[in-house]
Amino acid sequence: MAGIVEAVSQRGTHRFSKQPRMWIRLLAGLGVEGDAHLGTTVQHRSRVARDPMQPNLRQVHLLHRELLETLRDQGFVIGPGDIGENILTGDVDLLGLPTGAVLRIGETAEIRVTGLRNPCVQLDRFKPGLMKATLDRDAEGNLIRKAGVMAVVLTGGEVRPGDAIKIILPPGPHGRLLPV
C-alpha cells in the first residue's frame, strides 16, 4: 500500500492554520521542527491546561486530500495547512488505518498513527459549518470523525511534497482509531 505527500505545513506559533512549506523536518520523539506542537509532552493549549505532563500523541497531524475535495463539493474552499495539518496526503485511507500503523515517508521518516483528530469549534471559527462537515454517522449511528489522524515521530527526516508514503500495518488484530 502506498500514497503520496501532497503538501507539508508548519507554524511556530499557536494559530489554527499552518503555513505551507517546501519541506518540513520530522524529529524523532518530538514532531515537526519549528512547529508549535513540537515536544514530548502535549502542546495543544486545551490539553496543557488539563495536564501539561501527558505524552504528546499529537506530534504530527495528517489530513487526506480527498476530504478537501469532499468539502469543496459542499462549498468550503480549503487549502493545504488551512485546518492545521502538517502533512496533506493523497491516496492513503488515513481514517481506515489501525492504531499503531507506521507510515514511512520519503527516504527516512517514519511516524506511528496514534488516533483520530477530534474536530473542534476552531473549525467553525475558521469557516462556519465546517465542524459539522467533518463529522458524520455510520449506519449504526456511531460518530465518524473525518478531520484526519495524529501521529508520533519514530524516525526523523525531511518530508516534501511528492514523497512516497508506504504503510506498514501492525500485527493483528487491529484496533480501530479513537480520538487522541
Q: 29-88, pLDDT tens digit by residue?
A: 999 999 999 999 988 778 777 888 899 999 999 999 999 999 999 999 999 999 999 999
Domain that holds residue 143: 2-168
For residue 32, give the CATH number of its domain.
2.40.33.20
Q: Residue 45 has what pLDDT?
A: 74
Say what the pLDDT of residue 46 is.
80
For 119, the grid coordinates are 474536530
In a domain, 174, yes or no: no
How many domains does the chain divide into? Answer: 1
* Tens-digit pLDDT profile for residues 89-120: 999 999 999 999 999 999 999 999 999 999 88
Is the confidence at residue 12, as pLDDT, over 80? yes
In-domain check, residue 175: no
Beta-carbon-side half-sphere exposure of residue 44 (alpha carbons within 13 Å)? 19
How far apart (Å, rounded) are the C-alpha atoms in residues 96 and 103? Answer: 13
What is the distance between the alpha carbons of residues 109 and 153, in angstroms, rounded to a whole number? 8
**DSSP 3-state of 73:** helix
CA distance 167 to 103: 5
pLDDT for position 2: 83
Which pLDDT belongs to residue 1?
61
pTM for the predicted model, two decimal places:
0.96
pLDDT in the model for residue 44: 78
pLDDT band at 131; cut points 50, 70, 90? very high
The residues, ordered by sequence, that sit 6+ positions from 41 with a Cβ below 8 Å of its Cβ are 52, 53, 54, 55, 56
Tens of pLDDT, residues 145-167: 999 999 999 999 999 999 999 99
Judge whether 87 lies within some domain: yes
Nearest to 31 by CA among 15, 44, 48: 44
What pLDDT shows up at residue 64?
98
